[in-house]
Chains A and B, each alone.
Chain A
Amino acid sequence: MTVKNTYDDVSDGVSGAPIARIMVVDDDPDTVSILARYLRREGFAAVEASSGAECLKLINQGEIVEIILLDLMMPDMDGFEVVRALKNNPATVEIPIIMITARDDIDARAEGMRLGVSDFLPKPVLRKQLANRIHSQLEMVATARATEATLNNIDGKIAGAGKQ
Chain B
Amino acid sequence: MRHFVGAVRLRDWMSSLPTLQPEIKIDEPDLAYSLERALIGQHPTIVKMRQLIERVAGSDAMVLITGESGTGKEVIARAIHALSSRRDHPFVPVNCAAIPHDLLESEMFGHERGAFTGASVHRQGLFAMANLGTLFLDEVSEMPPVMQAKLLRALEDGVIRRVGSDRGYQIDTRVIAASNADLAAQVRKGAFREDLFYRLQVIPMALSPLRERRSDIPILIEHFLQKACDATGRNLTISREAMVHLWSYDWPGNVRELENMVQRLSIMCHDDLIDTSILPPDLLSPNRTIATEIPQKLSETGLDLNAMVHELEGKLINEALKRTGGNKQAAAKLLRLKRTTFAAKLRRCGVIAAVSEDSGSEL
Query: Could you tell me which A residues sit within 8 Å of B by CB distance?
Result: 26, 28-31, 33-35, 38, 73, 94, 102, 104, 106, 109-110, 113, 116, 118-120, 122-130, 132, 136-137, 139-140, 143-144, 146-148, 150-151, 154, 157-158, 160-164
> What is the bound-complex CA distance between A137 and B44, given in angstroms?
12
Q: Which among A28, A30, A109, A126 is the interface contact of B289 at CB below 8 angstroms? A: A126
- Contact across chains for B52 and A158 when beta carbons are under 8 A apart: no
Top 6 A-B residue pairs of the complex, sorted by shortest distance between their CB atoms: A124-B354, A28-B360, A161-B61, A140-B212, A30-B362, A158-B59
For A34, give the chain B residue with the smallest CB separation.
Answer: B353
**Interchain residue pairs with CB less than 8 A apart (22):** A30-B355, A34-B352, A34-B353, A94-B44, A102-B326, A102-B356, A113-B247, A123-B326, A123-B353, A125-B353, A125-B354, A130-B352, A137-B212, A140-B212, A143-B212, A146-B204, A146-B206, A150-B52, A154-B52, A154-B203, A158-B55, A158-B59
Q: With A106-B241, A150-B52, A157-B61 given, can you name 13 additional A-B contacts, CB distance below 8 Å?
A: A30-B361, A94-B44, A110-B244, A113-B214, A122-B287, A122-B322, A124-B363, A136-B209, A147-B52, A158-B58, A158-B59, A164-B158, A164-B174
- Contact across chains for A126 and B352 when beta carbons are under 8 A apart: yes
Mark B38-58 against chain A: 1 for CB-CB distance below 8 A, else 0.
Answer: 000000110011011001101
Q: How far is the CB of B328 from chain A (nearest CB, A)?
A: 9
Q: How far is the CB of B261 from chain A (nearest CB, A)?
A: 17
For A30, give the chain B residue with the smallest CB separation.
Answer: B362
Mark B156-191 against chain A: 1 for CB-CB distance below 8 A, else 0.
Answer: 001000000000000011110000000000000000
> What is the bound-complex CA distance between A137 and B213, given in angstroms?
8
Q: Which among B45, B203, B363 is the interface contact of A144 at CB below 8 angstroms? A: B45
Q: How far is the CB of A101 from chain B (nearest CB, A)?
A: 10
Is B122 engaged at the interface, CB distance under 8 Å to the other chain? Answer: no
Q: Which among B158, B213, B243, B286 is the interface contact of A104 at CB below 8 angstroms? A: B286
Q: How far is the CB of A37 from chain B (nearest CB, A)?
A: 9
- Contact across chains for A161 and B62 when beta carbons are under 8 A apart: yes
- Contact across chains for B45 and A102 when beta carbons are under 8 A apart: no
Residues of B within 8 A of A124 (CB): 318, 321, 326, 346, 351-355, 363
- Contact across chains for B354 and A123 when beta carbons are under 8 A apart: yes
Query: Could you tell me which B residues sit within 8 Å of A by CB distance?
Result: 44-45, 48-49, 51-52, 55-56, 58-62, 155, 158, 172-175, 202-209, 211-215, 218, 240-241, 243-244, 247-248, 286-289, 314, 318, 321-322, 325-326, 346, 349-357, 360-363
Residues of A within 8 A of B203 (CB): 150, 154, 157-158, 161
Given the known interface contacts A34-B363, A109-B248, the answer about A147 and B205 at a Cβ–Cβ threshold of 8 Å is yes
Q: Which among A106, A118, A120 is the interface contact of B215 at CB below 8 angstroms? A: A118
Q: Which among B58, B350, B353 is the interface contact of A128 at CB below 8 angstroms? A: B350
> What is the bound-complex CA distance between A38 and B363, given in angstroms?
13
For B346, give the chain A residue with the smallest CB separation.
Answer: A124
Residues of B within 8 A of A127 (CB): 350-352
For A38, give the chain B residue with the smallest CB separation.
Answer: B352
Q: How far is the CB of B196 from chain A (nearest CB, A)?
A: 15
Q: Which among A26, A34, A161 is the interface contact of B59 at CB below 8 angstroms? A: A161
> What is the bound-complex CA distance between A66 and B172, given in angstroms?
43
Q: How far is the CB of A50 from chain B (nearest CB, A)?
A: 12
Given the known interface contacts A113-B218, A154-B55, the answer about A136 and B211 at a Cβ–Cβ threshold of 8 Å is yes
> What is the bound-complex CA distance between A97 and B132, given in angstroms?
46
Q: Which among B49, B55, B212, B354 is the interface contact of A139 at CB below 8 angstroms? A: B212
> What is the bound-complex CA distance between A144 and B61, given in angstroms?
21
For A119, give the chain B residue with the smallest CB separation.
Answer: B214
Q: How far is the CB of B362 from chain A (nearest CB, A)?
A: 4
> What is the bound-complex CA distance between A38 and B351, given in angstroms?
11
For A149, give the chain B residue with the smallest CB separation.
Answer: B204
Residues of A within 8 A of B60 (CB): 161-164
Q: How far is the CB of A34 from chain B (nearest CB, A)?
A: 5
For B49, give the chain A residue with the smallest CB separation.
Answer: A147
Residues of A within 8 A of B357 (CB): 73, 102
Q: How far is the CB of B212 from chain A (nearest CB, A)?
A: 4
> Which of A30, A38, A94 is the most central at the interface, judged by chain B CB atoms within 10 Å of its CB?
A30
For A73, give the chain B residue with the smallest CB separation.
Answer: B357
Residues of B within 8 A of A158 (CB): 55-56, 58-59, 61, 203
Residues of B within 8 A of A164 (CB): 60, 62, 155, 158, 172-175
> Which of B48, B289, B314 is the most central at the interface, judged by chain A CB atoms within 10 Å of its CB?
B48
Residues of A within 8 A of B349 (CB): 126
Q: How far is the CB of B37 from chain A (nearest CB, A)?
A: 20
- Contact across chains for B205 and A150 when beta carbons are under 8 A apart: yes
For B354, give the chain A residue with the smallest CB separation.
Answer: A124
For B351, give the chain A residue with the smallest CB separation.
Answer: A124
